[in-house]
Structure 1
Amino acid sequence: MATVKRIKLGSQGLEVSAQGLGCMGMSAFYGPSKPEPEMIALIHHAINGGVTFLDTSDVYGPHTNEILLGKALKGGMRERVELATKFGASFADGQMKIHGDPAYVRAACEASLKRLGVDCIDLYYQHRIDTRVPIEVTVCPLLNFYSAFEEGKIKYIGLSEASASTIRRAHAVHPITAVQLEWSLWSRDVEEDIVPTCRELGIGIVAYSPLGRGFFSSGPKLLENMSKDDFRQCGASRLSLVGKGVSLPRLQPENLEHNKKLFERVNEIAAKKGCTTSQLALAWVHHQGDDVCPIPGTTKIENFNQNIKALSVKLTPEEMAELESIAAADAVKGGRYMSDFATYKDSETPPLSSWKAS
């Protein structure tokens, strides 16, 4: 197994493995929950192999993924990892709800600590931005009257799917350590504004779905072996996600036929490099800089081992340019989500002056 180097994530002192492990698919959204003993074995395998940055959220399950990690980290494992979880998203009555009010933040933090069975969360993200609540109001409970920071309940604060202006406003309240965003060869829109903003402010970047939700592992065959309740299937069949119609437009038939050309081109370059398509796509993310940590998810040890080998794939400037030419803005058809799903593009919050505490 490749050696996993350590990187500094952000400028507040957090150090993590250069590649993390996204744990969502073990418990949620990508089909039924996987067998707990197998997932614990996978998590232990990752930690023992040097991948110590584990990513979860209270909405995965909901709650069951945090409980799984809590079980996996017993027996001395907790001290060996950097644990990240998130708050702010939930599902009720078939609808996605987003929360950023102080009372919710306080309750969510305490509940995650309990489910994880830990005294402290290393990196605590706001999963989605509540556009009803000024971002300053959401960040403040972690610092002031709730004192999660002072009490040692969290070490570092992060944001997920936040716009550049929202990041700036939050960072002015307290330094943001990391921003989680979707970044891959078929999701490059963040390079325009968000990535430069993070680098200007000294904020680390955590890239989720660096393999395009499995597209760069399987290509257009991705949908063939999925269970009927895998939310990625919605791109083809418009199945509901926990009662809410959500789809991945890029996987809809009318777009997939076009998008498979990107996979084929990347696959050709990978064959010349002597690596897999997924390793090449993941290596491209690694080559974005030492302030970037991709967190590919998997439920199989053999796939984890393949992902780790991406750290050994070295790309020349010419190869990077070729990949980026293939993966230009017009190379992909379809958005990341349907238009009604919350992303950084609709994450602006009201000014602080408009807030009236209840």
Structure 2
Amino acid sequence: MEKIKLGSQGLEVSAQGLGCMGMSALYGPPKPEADMIRLIRHAVDSGVTFLDTSEIYGPFTNEILIGKALKGIREKVQLATKCGAMFTAEGNVIVNGTPAYIRSACEGSLKRLGTDYIDLYYQHRIDSKIPIEVTIGAMKELVEEGKIKYIGLSEASALTIRRAHAVYPITAVQIMWSLWNREVEKEIIPTCRELGIGIVAYSPLGMGFLTSGPNIVNNLDANDLRKITPKFLGSNLDHNAQMFMRLEEMAKRKGCSPGQMALAWVHHQGKDVSPIPGTTKIENFNNNRAAALIKLTQEEMEELDAISGEGAVKGDRYPEGFMKFNWEITETPPLSSWKPEA
């Protein structure tokens, strides 16, 4: 697996990473620990060394799983985790960007992951109550203490990215980017490239839709997040199936699977992009890894752009309760409004 420079501060990662969330959370019940450890180690042996997790996945259980999987091989991987999104006792998601929380969250992640440092530490969601300068200032202190190496943002607007980058260089922005999530191309991608910030594409397979198409809904567990995600529901699903049919036809001509075609499209977006498809099966991992080797022609790229253009996909990418925490909505107050914590 090829290595790429992610951002302009020195972080080098595998050109394709591994999203680990689904092993423990949100896509049905947790998967067998021994199987997931085997998968993670297989990924690392295969050269996919950029691993992505978060404290909220579980919560906490995904970090614990990865910590177990990395015993004895920590130095072989680039480990990314996140803070800033958390569950309340009632099961609701809240966002916290206060310095005290950022520090305590980092300490917790270090312990669960069984490591002395985190390669890339993201603010998972932006706190609309706390100036971004305050949160990044707290993360900067963690860099200076050697607890994290690089700072990232996830689901941040172009304005938030600029404000954060002015405080301390942002190495990577993690965004939902795929053939059926292209809104970020208008402002966020250009802003990252202007500032020399790497791009980490999560859900590059459209939460599995670009692999399985509309039939995916027939095999979802009752507590799977996709069961309540608008793109997978009713007339939206029927509409989106038309795009998948065109993708499937293209893949057939190319001699690959639809998912591989979709993932290859992300890889062709540039050497500053690392997609992090998630899976819980070694066979699917191998198929995803192979997509990095697929070469698309200019004509094929243009056709893929055409079938995924404006109006090709309908429905919000998250349920309503989740959407309020994403880049389309969240901005933070000015620094001048901040009163330091007592």
Give the TM-score normalised by the residue count of structure 1.
0.93
Of the candidates 77, 80, 90, which is equivalent to residue 76 of structure 2? 80
User: Which residue of structure 2 aligns with residue 227 of structure 1?
Assistant: 221
In the alignment, structure 1 residue 5 sits paired with structure 2 residue 2: yes
Superposed structure 1 runs of 4+ greater than 4 Å apart: none
Counterparts of 1:1-358 in structure 2, within 5 Å, are: 4-75=1-72, 77-92=73-88, 93-143=90-140, 147-234=141-228, 248-341=229-322, 342-358=325-341
In structure 2, distance between residues paired with 1:347 and 1:228: 30
In structure 1, distance between residues paired with 2:328 and 2:300: 30
In structure 1, distance between residues paired with 2:225 and 2:253: 33
In structure 2, distance between residues paired with 1:280 and 1:49: 20
In structure 2, distance between residues paired with 1:209 and 1:135: 25
In structure 1, distance between residues paired with 2:148 and 2:119: 6
Q: CA deviation at 1:340?
A: 3.7
- 1:326-347 deviations in whole A, cap 9, x for unaligned? 1011001111123442110122
- 1:33-56 deviations in whole A, cap 9, x for unaligned? 000000000000000000000000
Q: CA deviation at 1:197?
A: 0.1
In structure 2, distance between residues paired with 1:348 and 1:226: 34
Local SS of the residue matching 2:274: strand
- 1:158-180 deviations in whole A, cap 9, x for unaligned? 00000000000000000000000
Is 153-162 or 330-339 further displaced after alignment?
Answer: 330-339
In structure 2, distance between residues paired with 1:338 and 1:64: 23
User: Which residue of structure 2 aligns with residue 243 of structure 1?
Assistant: none
In structure 1, distance between residues paired with 2:53 and 2:143: 20
Q: Which amino acid aligns with 1:351?
A: P
Q: Which amino acid aligns with 2:192?
A: C
Local SS of the residue matching 1:125: strand
- 1:85-136 deviations in whole A, cap 9, x for unaligned? 0000011123211000111001000000000010000000000000000000
In structure 1, distance between residues paired with 2:292 and 2:53: 22
Q: Which amino acid aligns with 2:68?
A: K
In structure 1, distance between residues paired with 2:71 and 2:111: 13
In structure 2, distance between residues paired with 1:338 and 1:36: 28
Q: CA deviation at 1:229?
A: 1.2
Local SS of the residue matching 1:130: coil
Local SS of the residue matching 1:124: strand
Q: Which amino acid aligns with 2:76?
A: R
User: Which residue of structure 2 aligns with residue 240 of structure 1?
Assistant: none
Give the TM-score normalised by the residue count of structure 2.
0.98
Task: Flag structure 2 segments of 5+ consecutive residues without an equivalent.
Answer: none
Identity %: 66
Local SS of the residue matching 2:220: coil
- 1:286-327 deviations in whole A, cap 9, x for unaligned? 000000000000000000000011012111111101110110
Local SS of the residue matching 1:333: coil
